[in-house]
Amino acid sequence: MAFLVRCPNCGDRGVYEFRFGGEVVRRPSTSEAAPVWMKYFYARRNAAGNQREWWYHSLGCRRWLLAERDTTTNEILSTGWPGEVQA
């Protein structure tokens, strides 16, 4: 398999057990103007290096988790539950 993701519940699992949820982006408040929302919908940092991102363990415990990954090597640096680790 391509690489392993450490699920906080299930341990190290192949990446194909997970669904990639994209980089973490801050959701604007409902009072923000349309251009701010358009940036939230579409603009991405798409970092070449460490990136905070969402993963869903679809073929395991079926929970969403946060991970930090080096996108140049696919090394998962850390994982945790939302609310327990910084988004």
Partner 1 sequence: MMVFRKNRMWGKHPLRDAYDVVIVGAGVHGLSTAYYLGQMGISNVAVLDKGYLGGGASARSTAIIRSNYLTAEAIPFFRESHKLYQGLASELSFNLLFDEMGRLDIGHSESSVYWLRLRAEFNQLLGVDSRIIGPAEIKKLAPQIDLREGKTLPIMAALYHPPAGVVRHDAVVWGLARGADRAGVEIHPFTEVTGITRRNGRVTGVETPAGRVSAGMVVSATAGWTSTVTAMAGLDVPIVTFPLQACVTEPVKPFVHITISSADLHVYVYQTDRGELVIGGPVDPYSTYSQRSTLDMLQELAASTLELLPALRDIKIMRQWAGLCDMTPDYAPIMGQVDGLDGFILNCGWGTWGFKAAPASGRTTAELIATGRTPDLIRPFALSRFDDNALVNERAAAIAAAIH
CB of 66 to partner 1, least distance (A): 15
For 13, how many CA atoms within 13 A lie in the half-sphere containing its CB?
A: 19
In the bound state with partner 1, the residue whose beta carbon lies nearer, of 36 and 87, is 36
In the bound state with partner 1, the residue whose beta carbon lies nearer, of 35 and 83, is 35
CB of 69 to partner 1, least distance (A): 8
Q: How far apart are CA 87 and CA 72, in angstroms?
A: 20
Beta-carbon contacts of residue 47 (< 8 Å; ≥ 6 apart)? 23, 71
Q: How far apart are CA 78 and CA 42, in angstroms?
A: 26
In the bound state with partner 1, the residue whose beta carbon lies nearer, of 44 and 83, is 44
Residues in touch with partner 1 (CB under 8 A): 1-2, 15-16, 19-20, 22-23, 35, 38-39, 41-48, 71-74
